[in-house]
Amino acid sequence: MRPRFFSLLLVLFACAALASVSAQPDLRIRHGDDPRWASPDWDDADWTRITMDEYPAAAGPFWVRIRLEQPGPMHHAPRPDQTEVLVPPERYVYRWSAEPESSFDALFLPAVYSFELFFDGRLLARSGVVGHDRESEVPGLLDHLVRIPDDLRGGTSHLLAIRMSTYHYNFPATHFSATPWPVNMARRLRHEARLPVFPLVGAVCSLLTAAISLVLMRLGERRRALALVAAVSVVLAVFYGLIAVRWLYPYTYDWHYPRLLAITWVMTVASVLLVGLLVEQFNAPWKAWWLAGLVPLLAAAWQMSPIYELKVLWICRAMLLVALALAGWACWRRRPGAWPALAGVIVALLVVRTERRAFLDPTFFLTIEALVLLVFAAVGAQVQAGRRAAREARLTAARMEIELLKKNLQPHFLLNTLTAVSEVIEADPPGAVRFIDDLAAEFRSLAAMSGERLVPLQRELDLCRAHLKVISRRTGRDIGLAVEGARDEALVPPAIFLTLIENGLVHQRAESGAEFRLRAHVTDETARYEFFSPGSKRPDDRPAGGTGLRYVQARLEESFRGQWTFSQGAVAGGWETVIGWRTARPGSEEAAP
């Protein structure tokens, strides 16, 4: 990897160095098993002092003794409402209070071990069965809220003794952090009741978003962005569900590692999908490179912290950084919906902070969900614009069909032709039959084309020749059509060359024996047709944009949106019209090259 990338990582994860440094509580450990070690009077001076992060994994039984002290007169006591905030040195410092709502009257233990908990020598709680090996240990539930009896409260010093085994601790680490939190029971219960709310709201929102996206797709909106919105939403719903499950369905501690691993992977997948969604939504170039740029950032995020909650936040931050670059690029290129997305990403980056704090608080859920909804709104706006364009295209197609049919019914052509037919019927009955046959052939060709957006060139040429036959019979002038280099199966908008012939007959005076000429240059991707109308120009000026030309141009726009050319001008002996288009993707919404 290039040095620049390392610099970027350095900037990105600079705050990783801001890990809090704390004083260590009085925490002592001894391997072995003796019921007397629960007594507050037991002399543990010879026990090993450890830090809160040095609990041994896959071990037991062993005992841990923790002293709870009243703060001294100069000590800053924590506010009661911060009981859930992890501030390591203070959490073992407590203040009994006369106020029921603010006093510590319980211990909260997120325990990745089986244990028996003694408070001043009295057994208060038991989780699973402490064992001598993996077989004899029965894993207990992860979370515990242990009430401290009234008669044990008060005084200036207390002893917490925990008998534990950790044979089902299946994280890869050899040591872990265990933290009994002194809490107020009533407040803790209310807090726990609130904990699953935001994840559940996020899950419901995500599922709704996914459902709406799928319904839109079912209704015919085959957009990759919609599929990605649905995929991101489903993955986020799983993510939120995994978060909420801890509070809704308590599980034994051996499931904690698989759950956190799943959360981290799900967030990784969501990050890739979210970046993919932004790339797709803003139609960014080098799509694979954006995702390729995300991969090393995600890999680095996985390594930023051994704590899985923090891994998730780092992953989220890495994703947001790529999203920031993408949204910034989209704003620069004035992509629709880019500015709200950029604002959302910036807010999310400010909110998703990785210092040690409560894991995935409500702002995280709201921000991520808002970001997804912003992008979804942009997709929705795009869908709406696409539907409007489709509706206009349908209207144009209908209008074009009417224009085509009007060519059949154009009064001057039809009534003059009927007048001529009347004369031929009376003057030359056999000739009248041939005349009517020619006329029928033209009408059949036109009728067969109505409703078509593109027809094979051969059918168009048949129509032109049928029309010239009718005109020749009416005017007495024999006018032909010569074709060079045409592919019969090449697709062309219906009646465009017929319209050029009609224009030529009106605006030029072609003598009998003259020929219209069509020269085609068709490849698999492009088509270019040079159409020559013979004859001297009539004295009056050729109109710049008559009905016929408008028809031709509208047909070209309908079939080759923005990817066609049209030019015309006088040439020796007549008038030339040159039409070109890209045949690779007719109707494509991409801009003309």
Partner 1 sequence: MKLILIEDEPLVAQRLERFCREILGAELEKLHVASSFDEAAGWLAEHPVDVALLDLNLEGRDGMELLRRSVAGAFHTVIVSANTDRALEAFQYGVLDFVPKPFTRERLTQAFERARGTITRGAGTAKNLAVRKAGRVELIAVDDVLFAQGAGNYSELVLVNGRRELHDKTLEKLAAILPPDFERLHKSYLVRLSAIKALHASEGSHYEAELKNGPRLPVGRTRYKELRAKLA
Does the protein bind partner 1 through residue 408 (CB under 8 A)? no
- Per CB under 8 A, 168 contacts partner 1: no
Token duo for residue 116? 């028996």
Alpha-carbon dihedral sign for residues 537, 540, 543, 549: negative
Q: Closest distance between partner 1 and the C-beta of residue 545, in Å? A: 16
3-state secondary structure 332-365: HCCCCCHHHHHHHHHHHHHHCCCCCCCCCCHHHH
381 makes contact with partner 1 (CB under 8 A): no
Among 416, 512, 526, 536, binds partner 1 (CB under 8 A): 416
Q: x/- binding map, residues 505-534, to partner 1, per CB under 8 A?
A: xxx-x-------------------------
CA distance 148 to 126: 14
| Other beta carbons less than 10 A from residue 427's beta carbon | 9
Who's near 308: CB < 8 A, 6+ residues apart? 260, 261, 263, 264
Among 48, 174, 422, 565, interactor with partner 1 by CB under 8 A: 422
Catalogue the E-assigned strands of 389-463.
455-456
Does 415 bind partner 1 (CB under 8 A)? Our answer is yes
Query: At closest approach, how far in Å is the CB of 423 from partner 1?
Result: 4
Q: Which of residues 89-148 bind partner 1 (CB under 8 A)?
A: none
Distances 228 to 231, 241, 281, 419 between C-alpha atoms, Å: 5, 19, 9, 64
Which residue, 172 or 411, is less far from partner 1 as judged by CB?
Answer: 411
Q: Nearer to partner 1 by C-beta: 372 or 505?
A: 505
Q: How far is the CB of 411 from partner 1 (least distance, A)?
A: 5
Other C-beta atoms lying within 10 Å of the C-beta of residue 546: 13
Q: Which is nearer to partner 1, 48 or 416 (CB)?
A: 416
Query: Containing H/E element for 295?
Result: helix 287-303
3-class secondary structure for 459-516? Answer: HHHHHHHHHHHHHHHHHCCCCEEEEECCCCCCEECCCHHHHHHHHHHHHEECCCCCEE
Q: How many residues bind partner 1 (CB under 8 A)?
A: 25
Per CB under 8 A, 436 contacts partner 1: no
Minimum Å gap between C-beta 439 and partner 1 is: 13
Name the segment binding partner 1 (CB under 8 A); options: 239-247, 346-354, 469-477, 565-573: 469-477
Q: What is the pattern of x (binds partner 1, CB under 8 A) and - over residues 531-550? A: -------x-x----------
Helix (H, G, I), strand (E, B) or coil at 521: strand
Pairing of strands 526-534, 574-582: antiparallel
Q: Which is nearer to partner 1, 308 or 413 (CB)?
A: 413
Residue 482 identity:
A
Please list every residue from 284 through 303 that binds partner 1, using CB under 8 A. none
Among 158, 163, 317, 473, binds partner 1 (CB under 8 A): 473
Query: Within a 10 A sphere around the Cβ of 397, how many other Cβ atoms?
Result: 17
Q: Least separation, in Å, of the C-beta of 507 and partner 1?
A: 8
Residue whose tokens read 């809490």? 183
Q: Please identify which residue in 102, 252, 458, 475 interacts with partner 1, judged by CB under 8 A.
A: 475
486 near partner 1, rule: CB under 8 A: no
Tell me the two tokens of residue 585. 């993707």
Among 51, 419, 523, 536, binds partner 1 (CB under 8 A): 419
**Closest by CA position to 301, among listed 322, 278, 328, 319:** 319
Of the candidate residues 414, 441, 481, 490, the single one contacting partner 1 (CB under 8 A): 414
Chosen residue from 418, 433, 571, 584 binding partner 1 by CB under 8 A: 418
Stretch that binds partner 1, among 107-115, 116-124, 367-375, 419-427 (CB under 8 A): 419-427
Stretch that binds partner 1, among 268-276, 449-457, 467-475, 561-569 (CB under 8 A): 467-475
Among positions 17, 74, 98, 427, the unique one binding partner 1 when judged by CB under 8 A: 427
216-to-202, 223, 224, 587 alpha-carbon distances in Å: 21, 9, 12, 22
Give the footprint of partner 1 on this chain (CB under 8 A). 411-412, 414-416, 418-424, 426-427, 473-476, 502, 505-507, 509, 538, 540
